[in-house]
Structure 1
Amino acid sequence: MQKGERTRKHIIAQAAELFNQKGYAGSSLSDITELTGIKKGGIYRHFASKDEIALEAYDYAGSVVSGKMNDAIRAEETASGKLLAYLRVYENVVETPPFIGGCPLLNLATESDDSHPILRERAQRGLKSTLNNMKEIISEGVQNGEFKADLDIEALATFTLSVMEGGIMMSKLEGDNRHIRMNIENLAKYLKGFCIR
Structure 2
Amino acid sequence: MEFVAKSESTRQFIVESTSGLFNKKGYAGTALSDLIEATKLSKGSIYGNFENKEAVAIAAFDYNLSQVKQLIQAKVSQFPGYKEKLFAHAQVYHSFEQTPFPEGGCPLMNAGVEADDTNEVLREKAADGIMSWMSNLATLIEKGMATNVFRPDTNSNETATTIIALIEGGLMMSKVTRSSGMMDSIVSVIGELIERISNPNESY
TM bin (shorter chain): over 0.9
1:147-194 superposed Cα distances (whole Å, 9 cap, x missing partner): 011111110000000111111111111111111100111211221111
After TM superposition, the score normalised by the length of structure 1 is 0.94
CA distance in 2, matches of 1:92, 1:27: 28
TM-score norm. by structure 2 comes to: 0.91
> Aligned residue for 1:152?
155
User: Secondary structure of 1:23's match?
Assistant: helix
Which shows bigger deviation, 75-84 or 37-46? 75-84
- Letter aligned with residue 87 of structure 1: A
User: In the alignment, which residue of structure 2 is the partner of 1:130?
Assistant: 133
What is the alpha-carbon root mean square deviation over aligned residues?
Answer: 1.3
Contact 1:47 1:53 in 2 (8 A): yes
Contact map agreement 2:91 2:187 (CA 8 A) in 1 = yes
* 2:2 matches 1:35: no
Aligned residues: 195
Trace 1:112-123 onto structure 2 (pairs within 5 A).
112-123=115-126
2:67 is the alignment partner of 1:58: no
1:196 aligns with 2:169: no
Letter in 2 for 1:11: I
Alpha-carbon distance, 1:6 to partner: 2.1
Instruction: Specify every segment of 5 or more residues in structure 1 that has no aligned partner in the other structure, as ranges.
Output: none
Identity of aligned residues (%): 34
C-alpha contact 1:12 1:53 (8 A) present in aligned 2: yes
Residue pairs, 1:1-197, within 5 angstroms? 4-197=7-200
